[in-house]
Structure 1
Amino acid sequence: MSVEVELRGVRVRYGLLEALHGVDLACPAGAVTVLVGRNGAGRTTALRAMAGLVRPTAGQVRWRGRDVGGLDAYRRAREGIAFVPAERAVFGALTVAENLRLGADGGPARPAFPELTALLGRRAGELSGGQQQLVALGRALAADPGLLLLDEPGRGLAPAVVARLHAMLRESAERGRTVVLAEQTVPRTLGRAGFVHVLRRGRVAVSGELGELRDWEG
């Protein structure tokens, strides 16, 4: 199985604090990979390093076989990497439809979530937290990225919506898209297919198949 994105010996510092301590991890192409860990484990920082939002102080971020450590986040986005942070990044002054069209590079964008259909004319900043999360996810999906990075995508969503999202991510991976998401625990509704890296205190504690590590506590 080929590798879509990987970290090789990556260290990331925030001031005096080192968040990643020489992390090595690989995410297979056309599959769902879950970065699992408690708050402060380094999973969000790993995603941000892949997206280009933080620069490693050492090591390499490799995407499709090349070192992209010097590539800015907007360049990576243009080349097919989409990142959805946990804090529901939407353009609050724009309508839902306008947010989705931004993801589709100005073209028409059909909502990926039926819950958004009745909200297309509403300003995104007026929506609830869960609705804003759906807008952010929908905008990323509208961009049709090759690599989709999601930080706790189910935060603020109803369990039924989360289950539908996970089914969508599995189907998307089956069609060739690579999905990497950060979670505190392995989501039950993801099924058994996929790969898991468990992070603890800025290091990879264990890696393996999703079905094997579902109940791993560390």
Structure 2
Amino acid sequence: MSAGAELRGVRARYGLLEALHGIDLACPQGRITVLLGRNGAGRSTALHTLAGSLRPTAGRVRLRGVDVTGLDAHRRARLGTALVPAERAVFDSLTVAEHLALGGPAPVDHWFPELAPLAHRRAGALSGGQRQLVALARALAARPAVLLLDEPARGLAPAVVDRLHRLLLGLAADGRTVVLAEQSLPPAFDRPGTFVHVLRRGRITFSGEPPELRTSAADHG
């Protein structure tokens, strides 16, 4: 099982606050990986470190077997990495159509037909859920080899979430690496084959598949 995205002994900080304490985190290629934890656990920091928007203070970052520790976010994007952060994921002054053009040619209307009537509307005038759809569609349109998503279902209707989760499962089955940060495990991914890392206060407290996570939780009360 090869890792599509990996942190090795990574420490990362915001100013004086160290958010990751030397973690080893492997996200298998061709599978869904879910980073679980409460706010402040280090999930978002791990995604930003993989994407290159945050440089580690120690350790190495590898994407598809290549050491990219010294590469910035733009160069990692050119290598096939896309991040949808939890905040500031769209440009308010650009229209929906302009956002999608940044990604590339892809069947976005098929994935998210809700965006078609919004094509000429500026992102700053959209609702929170619509903005999230734009951010997701832009990332997916780029057909990334490594897709990093921070709570991607936030603000979306249940039917859209179901469609998104089916799409992500299809991307993983196609050999892509999909990594999500979530506070709880989405039912669509609560199955063998999904890989889960549980983070707590900047450390990994569990790594394995959902059945093992349930066994671990039962063993600890």
What band does the TM-score fall into relative to the shorter chain? over 0.9
Residue 93 of structure 1: SS of its match in structure 2? Answer: coil
The change in CA–CA distance for 1:132 and 1:116 in structure 2 (over 3 A counts) is same
CA distance, structure 2, for counterparts of residue 191 and residue 119 of structure 1: 33
- Equivalent residue number for residue 143 of structure 1: 142
**Equivalent residue, structure 2, for 1:124:** 123
Residue 213 of structure 1 and its aligned partner are, at CA, apart by 2.1
Counterpart Cα distance in 2 of 1:99 and 1:182: 23
Q: Secondary structure at the match of 1:91?
A: coil
In 2: Cα distance, 1:88 partner to 1:131 partner: 13
Match for residue 108 of structure 2? 110
Output the amino acid matched with 1:121. Answer: H
Shift of residue 66 of structure 1? 2.2
In percent, how many aligned pairs have the same letter?
68
Q: Which residue does the alignment assign to 2:20?
A: 20
Mark the runs of 5 or more structure 1 residues left unpaired by the alignment: none
Write out per-residue CA displacement over residues 148-170 of structure 1, whole angstroms, 9 at most, x where no aligned residue: 00000011111221121111100
One-letter amino acid of the counterpart of residue 11, structure 1: R
Task: Please give the alpha-carbon distance, in whole angstroms, between the structure 1 residues aligned to 2:215 and 2:132.
Answer: 27
The answer to whether the Cα contact below 8 Å between 1:7 and 1:26 also exists between their aligned partners in 2 is yes
Distance in 2 (alpha carbons) for counterparts of 1:75 and 1:155: 28
Q: Secondary structure at the match of 2:108?
A: coil
Contact conserved, 1:186 with 1:214, CA < 8 A, in 2? Answer: no
TM-score between both structures, scaled by the size of structure 2: 0.93
Once the 2 structures are TM-superposed, how far is the Cα of residue 119 of structure 1 from its aligned partner?
1.1
Q: How many residues align?
A: 216
CA RMSD of aligned residues (A): 1.6
Any residues of structure 2 matched to 1:3-152 within 5 Å, and which?
3-104=3-104, 110-111=108-109, 112-152=111-151
Secondary structure in 1 matching 2:121: coil
Show the counterpart of 2:194: 194
* Residue 212 of structure 1, CA deviation: 3.1
Aligned residue identity for 1:110: V
Q: Note the alpha carbon deviations across 1:101-135, whole angstroms, 9 max, x for none.
A: 0111xx57633311111111211111100000000
Q: CA deviation at 1:186?
A: 0.7
Runs of at least 5 residues in structure 2 that lack an aligned partner in the other structure:
none
Closer, same or farther: CA 214–182 of 1 in aligned 2, 3 Å: farther
Most deviating of 84-93 and 14-23: 84-93
Verify the 8 A CA contact 1:101 1:109 in the aligned structure 2: no
3-state DSSP of counterpart to 2:137:
helix
Which whole-Å deviations, capped at 9, do the CAs of 1:27-49 have from their partners, x for residues lacking one?
00011100000001001000000
Q: C-alpha separation between the residues in 2 aligned to 1:90 and 1:125?
A: 8
TM-score, normalised by the number of residues in structure 1: 0.94
2 CA distance for matches of 1:214 and 1:114? 37
8 Å contact 1:94–1:123 — kept in the other structure? yes
Distance 1:15 1:39, change over 3 A: same
